[in-house]
Structure 1
Amino acid sequence: MLKSLICGLTLAALLASAGSWLGWRFAGDLPTDVEMRSVVAPLGVEGELWRDDAIATWADERATPMPWIFGTEDAFGPGFVIFETTEAVTDLGPLFTHVREDGWRVGGDHTAVKEDLRLSAVVEGDGLVRVRIERAAPMAAIVLSILGWLAGAVIGGLLGRRRLSLKPTVFAAAGVLFLLPNTIVATAGLIADQIALNSTVGFPIIWNGLLNFGLCGCYLIGICLMVGVFFIDWRLPGPAAPAPLPPSGPESPSA
């Protein structure tokens, strides 16, 4: 039972990450610079504007990215447009009154949501305001991650019920340990996705853990171990059945 549960959770997180990654390919566009300045116009002050439209991008816009495979980088975010004031602002009320009238649903902690976008405003220590608009997770990412999790849980649970010899058991246990960080990150991210659906907070990128530069080597080893166990123990035929014994009976009299 425990082995089935562990295998199910591991494969569920792996397929949920893959489904989420695929679903994020359907994400929409961010506001243009002109649209962003229109959103923040009620603040009544000048400011700097910068953006990163990539779906897989450095999560901290002030950090220096580390190039990674497939055009992505070491940490991942939904893309963003940021406006930061050059003067102190004392009241965010006009901003959120404006976005509410423009069709945004305003939540707590200076956040708002409109269709597939999330807005947040932060007042920094010197009174400057940073307004950020980022993508929300597309519905395809939500659906595919859930389907991937369910499929992985069922398949992993069934595979975990098989009896393994000692060596494949050791390999499978090592594979589960190597994939454990992704299991934790993806499962927590999947739960956070469901919370974000009914709130105004941003969505996590649950496949961030799978493609993390520092851990990708561990994940590759874990996947190779699990695939190796599958082909070595589950796909190869078992030992041949022993030949049947000759029927017992009275010996025929010798001539």
Structure 2
Amino acid sequence: MTDSATPVVFIHGLWLHSAAWDPWVQLFADSGYRPSAPGWPGDQVTVAETRATPDSVANFGIEDVTAHYRAFIDQLEEKPILIGHSFGGMIAEKLLGEDYAAAAIAIDAAQIKGVLPLPLSALRSTLPVFKNPANKHKAVTLSAEQFRYSFGNALTEEESDALYEKWVIAAPGRPLFEAAAANFSLHSPAKVETGNEKRGPLLLIMGGQDHTVPEAITKSTLKQYRHSAAVTELVEFEGRGHSLTIDGGWREVATACLTWLGEQRL
């Protein structure tokens, strides 16, 4: 890896610390890229520190987090490749639509404005937040059981619980409330410039068994880009859940990302 290498910025989603990207960062560095994985506003350097100060992540919304990454990208010498998971995938899409990125890969990305399907499994996955309207302005932590349903449903209980202990932090409730109200808000922060024809290429990745972002959401997201001639592609990993970036099969997903970037000559 050299200073002239293409920068790659990894963006995590709700309930996972940015350090969960560490294996990806190493793989992409070994592959000749210049990767980084900055946390969301309020995140501390380590999982333990972030867990110890859960209120530090409270009340940040989609636009707050997007602005945080805009500021990070502004410090780079060139547009990066963005790779985001869950709400990080939505933010990667937003930044790509705003021409802040050379390309983006959105993995099990949260629903953007215009996406209508809301499967029951997605509702159940977000119930820990929505069960209390006051959670919009609070930080919410999942239990191991809730994580197992939302992230680890395609894993053994043992692997799911191990990932929970290693990576899970509290998350702001506000992004979920904003996404849920997106189609009723003219200026929703979940809006993405899907019609931008001059943007870089976009790859959407979905896990076939994802409870939190079921395939119906990702397929509907793909349709939102139908009026743009820019490259937009979809890849499915059958039998994989929302944990696909951090579980034992992460390398298969990461390798697919590297292969796709090679096909795009990036």
What TM-score, normalized by structure 2, do the two folds share? 0.23
Flag the structure with more relative contact order, 1 or 2, with Cα contacts below 8 A and sequence separation at least 6.
1
Higher normalized helix content (fraction of residues): 1
